[in-house]
Structures are given as C-alpha cells and as structure tokens.
Structure 1
Amino acid sequence: MASRSFFPEQDIICPVCMDIFTDPVLLKCSHSFCKACLHKCWEENKAGECPICRAKTTEDPTCNRVLKNLCETFLKNRTKKLASASESLCSLHGERLKLFCLNDEEPICLICQTSEKHENHKLRPVKEAVSKYKEELETVLRPLQDKLQAFTKEKQKSDREAEIIKSEAEYIVILIREQFEILHQFLRDDEAARIAALREEEEEKSQRMKERGEKMTKEISSLTEAIRALEQEMRADDISFLQNYKATKRRYVKS
C-alpha cells in the first residue's frame, strides 16, 4: 500500500502499548505516545516525565497530527486489504478460490476439489466460469434494458401529455376567469345604472313632495289666518258684527 511504502510499520507503534497509535501526542523531547498510554504512565510514575528518556516537561503534550493522519491512513488501507483478501480466500482452507463448481454454483479452492463434497462435480476455472455466466446474464440484461428503454419512452410520453393537459387546463381557467370578469363588470355596470335611475326617480319624487308640502304649508297658514280673523269677527259686539257681516261673508263665503 502507498502508506506502507513511505514509512515502516514500527514508526507508527506506540512504545508503551506496542500497538498502532491512538490519539498520538508529542512531548517536547520529540517522543510520541498514545494520549491514554501517556496519562496512564504519569498516573503510575512521576508525572511530567517522558516514559522513554525521562526528560521533564511542564507543558501539556500537543496532538501529533501528522502521526495521527499516518496511523489513520495505515489502518484504513489495512482494513481494505484484509477485506479484499478474505473475499478471495476459501473460508475452509484459506487458499485462493481458483475453481468454480458447476453443480453447487460456488467458487472453491484446489483443496476443495479433492473433498468428498465436490466429488465427481463438474469444475471450471474461475475466469472461464465468469465469462460463461456473464454471457448468460448478458442475454437476460439486454431484454431488461430494452424494457427499461420502452418504459422510459412511455413515461416521457405520459409526462408530456400530462404537461399538455395541465397547460390546457390552466388556459381554460384563464378564459373562464376573463369571461366571468366580463359578466361581473356587466352586472356591476347594470347595478350602478339601476341605482342611479332609482336615485334620480327618488330625487324627482322627493322634489314633488317637497313642493306639495310647501304648497300645503301655505294653504294651512292661509286657512289658519282666515279662521283667526273670522273668529275675531265673531267675537265682536252685535252691532259691529252685523255692520261687518256683509264684507265678512263676501271675504270668506264663496258663492
């Protein structure tokens, strides 16, 4: 691996726990330890001393970031290598899987070939079996791809039709709103015209009633004055009443 090409594994081993560094810290004397290992040493022995050279330090150890990154890279690569190796090795014999059993349809190693389980079974080299089965699956894959393509085209067509339906519906909604707005405007105009005509008729009738009221007020005033004058004449003494009777009769009694 690249990480192991640039530094030996012993350079990333903690001198206390003899394992890969975990949270490595750096002392002033340039020695590095796992953070937990250093604190454990300081709890058991004199704190502030390097467990290797016994150099004293009064400063807190700092994180060795470069060493930490190297350890993380090494562990990651080792995990990948182990996973890859375990996948290509026989779980029973630890040998490389070089053959494929056609009867059991599983990869096996050369030792498995001689076992009772695979006795008289048809075997093929792994590469040959891979080539054969890939060809078989290719015949299955093509119809699936064609089917997928057909469904994709059908869906695209359906999506386009849905967009057209949506656009047509939105256009019709706009037309309906425009038509109803025209109708509403017509009704508003008709309402305004009817109200205006009603107000005009009301004003004319009110004016006639006002004139009629004024005329009746004058009549009442005139009649009141006539009654008052006539009553006054009737309260006069007999001679005066008789002397004025002719004129009073002519004034108030219509022939």
Structure 2
Amino acid sequence: MASRSFAEEDFSCPVCCDIFINPVLLSCSHSFCSSCIQRVWRNKTLKECPVCRTTSSNDHPPVNLALRNLCESFQQERKPKSGPGVCSVHNETIKLFCLDDQQPVCVVCRDSRKHTNHRFCPVDEAVADNKEILKASLERLQEELRRSVNREQKLCKTAGDIKVHAQDTETQIKDEFKELRQFLDDEEAARITALREEEEKRSQRMKEKIEETSKQISSLTITIRDIEEQMKTEDVSFLQNVKATLQRFVFVSVLLNSNHHS
C-alpha cells in the first residue's frame, strides 16, 4: 500500500508542503497541487517550474492521476488511526479551535497555509463558549415549545366551541321553525345547510391550524432532543458538529417566525 512504500514527504507539494490536492504533472516531471502552480504562475509571462526553473509549454498541465490516487490511498490509510481527538490530516492531537473556520485543528493545521492569519483558541475554551451558545438556543426552543403547546390547547378548545356553538344554533333554529314547519320547510332546510357548510369550513381551517401546530411541536421536540444529545458529546466531536447544529437552530427559528406571521 502507499503508506508502506513511501514516506509522507513523497506526497507533499513543494509549494504548500501539504499532501497533494489534485496534483498536476509538468513537462520536467515535477508535480504540484493544481491551485499551487496556478498561484505561482499568476501574472508571470514565463511558466517556470518552481523547483528546476524549466519553462512549461502548457499553461494548464495535465492531472497526475497516478500520484493523485496514491495520495488518496495514503490519506485513507491514515484515517483509521485518527480518533475524535486526533487530526485526520496530520495525525496530531487536536488542541486548538479555529475561530475563523469554526473547526477543531492541531498545531500543524494552525501553521499551514490554509489557516494563515486565522484566530485560534484552546479546545476547552471553544467548548465552553459554544455550549453557552447552544444553551441559550436550547432555552429559546424550550420556551417556543411551551408556547406551541399552549397554542395547540387553545386551538383545540376553540375547535370544540365552534362545534358546540353550531350544535346549539342548529337546535335553536329547529325550535324556532317548529310552529312554522308547514310553511317554512324550505327556509329551514336552507338555513341548516348554510350553517353546516360554514361549520365545515371553519372546522377545516381550525383542523389545518392544529395539524400545523402539531408538526411544529414535533419538529421542536426533535430539535431539542438532538441539541441535548449534542451537549453530551465529547469536546472534539461536539465542536465538529456544533456549526451544523447552530445552522439547524437558525433554520428552525426562521421557520417558526414565518409560521407566526402567517
């Protein structure tokens, strides 16, 4: 396999010194990351090899498929060695959190080009800060759940009142028309029909609102449960998923606001 036949430096780009990403092959047989060589050649008339200074005849050199496959195999073999607290790229213990990229990193990641001029803090500080953010988000969701439950109860009561009111009105109409049944059969039937149609429409609208609120309660319950589970995870695993969790919270909040205004 690649990791048993070669050392890590065999898979490192001479420009960025990281593992090759989409390597291209120059006519002089030297390889570079596609983005690295294009960055070196930017605004240059002569397209020279950064290693041997040989001029390249191709502004867009071909991809070195063999090297790319070796790099992918090399990185795949390294991944099983990495746990939640170990960098999957450099196999170093993760001790830092990149505030710009919102992801846990090792000291080698910090010094790489990818994180140039980025801000960092210790993992434990990042965990504490993000848990505070999630705690506030969780409290807001729990409060929203309480409101939704109360709203559902009120809607259910209103739906019951509509039905009772319709039944009372129907009885009243029947009583009023008893003495005039012989003369007003057609009028009685027309009014009862209109009443029942109105009842059906209003009950249907109320049913739709109840179903919508029930779905909202279900969504809030699931989101709250997922956040609570996320709060229990290990530091690094927590940080690796916190960005997606916060984005999900924002999405749910926007959806809730939209439902309130509708």
Scaled by the length of structure 2, the TM-score of the pair is 0.32
Larger relative contact order (CA 8 Å, sep ≥ 6): 2
Scaled by the length of structure 1, the TM-score of the pair is 0.33
Structure of larger gyration radius: 1
